[in-house]
Amino acid sequence: MKTRKEIEIELSTLICSKLKDAIDTKGYASLLVSGGSTPVQLFQELSTKNINWSRVNVIPVDERFLPDSNPDQNGNLIKQYLLQNKAEVANFQPLVLNSEDAELNLSLVKSSLEKILQPFTVVILGMGTDGHTASLFPCSAELEHGLNLSNNDDLIITNPKSAPYQRISFTRKALLNTENLYLHCYGEEKKRILDTLEFNSEKTYPIKSFVAQRSIKPEIFWSK
C-alpha cells in the first residue's frame, strides 16, 4: 500500500502533466480543487511544479458563504497552500464575490465563470466521512437537484444540516464535465464507505453518484 506522501507525489505529478498538456494544446487549463485537511500536502506538492501556472485557472469545487479570506473558507486554504511558490501566479476564481446576498452571489459567480471554458481540465474531489463531496451533503434539501444530470445549473446554493454555513457548490453535472476526474481521500472510515457503495444509495452517500457513473470514471487515490 502506498503512503500518503507517495500518493501526493504521484497525484501531483499526474495533475501537472494533464495541466501542461492542456496548456500546450489549448493555451489554458483549469483545476478544480476540494477543501478540508486532506489536500494540504497535495497543494504544497503542486505549488512547486514547474508548469506555466499563469495559464491555469484554479477554482474551488465548493465554498462556504463567508467573506473573502475568512479562515473557514476553502479559498483561504487554497491561497495559503496552493497559490504559493511557482503556483503563485495561477488565476484564482473565487466562489464568493458578494458575501451579503447568496442569490446575488450565485448570479455573479455564474457570470464570472463564463470565461472558463469547459470541459474542465482536472477536477479533484474529496469525500467527507458522511459520503458527501463538494457541498453535496446527504442531509441537504438541495441534494437531489445537485445530483440531477438534467439540471442545467453549474452552481447551486446548499444548506447542509450537519455542517456549518450556507454553501455554494458545483453540481454533479458540472463536475463531471471534465477531462480528468480524481478522488483523493484518506483513512479507514472513508475506505469503508467506498467498499460499501454498491449497497447504499446516492442519497445516503452522494459520492456514489460520481464513482458509479459511466461518463467519466474517477481515478481513486486513497491511503490509510
3-state DSSP assignment of residue 126 = coil
The CATH code for residues 4-223 is 3.40.50.1360
Nearest alpha carbon to residue 64 among 82, 83, 77, 46: 77
Q: How far apart are CA 191 and CA 90, in angstroms?
A: 33
Q: Are 125 and 210 in contact (CB under 8 A)?
A: yes
What phi and psi, each to the nearest 5 degrees, are found at residue 167?
A: -130, 165
Q: Which three cell numbers stand for residue 89?
A: 501566479
Nearest alpha carbon to residue 87 among 115, 52, 118, 60: 52
Q: Are 156 and 168 in contact (CB under 8 A)?
A: yes
Q: What is the pLDDT along the chain (224 residues), one digit of tens a residue?
A: 899 999 999 999 999 999 999 999 999 999 999 999 999 999 999 999 999 999 999 999 999 999 988 999 999 999 999 999 999 999 999 999 999 999 999 999 999 999 999 999 999 999 999 999 999 999 999 999 999 999 999 999 999 999 999 999 999 999 999 999 999 999 999 999 999 999 999 999 999 999 999 999 999 999 99
Q: Which three cell numbers stand for residue 100?
A: 451579503
Q: How far apart are CA 186 and CA 47, in angstroms?
A: 21
Q: How far apart are CA 43 and CA 76, in angstroms?
A: 12
Nearest alpha carbon to residue 70 among 166, 160, 149: 166
Q: Are 208 and 200 in contact (CB under 8 A)?
A: yes
Q: How far apart are CA 67 and CA 100, in angstroms?
A: 8
How far is C-alpha 180 from the chain's CA centre? 12
Question: Domains of the chain: which residue ranges?
Answer: 4-223
Q: What is the pLDDT of residue 193?
A: 98
Nearest alpha carbon to residue 195 among 182, 208, 204, 181: 208
What phi and psi, each to the nearest 5 degrees, are found at residue 4?
A: -60, -40
Nearest alpha carbon to residue 33 among 94, 129, 113, 122: 122
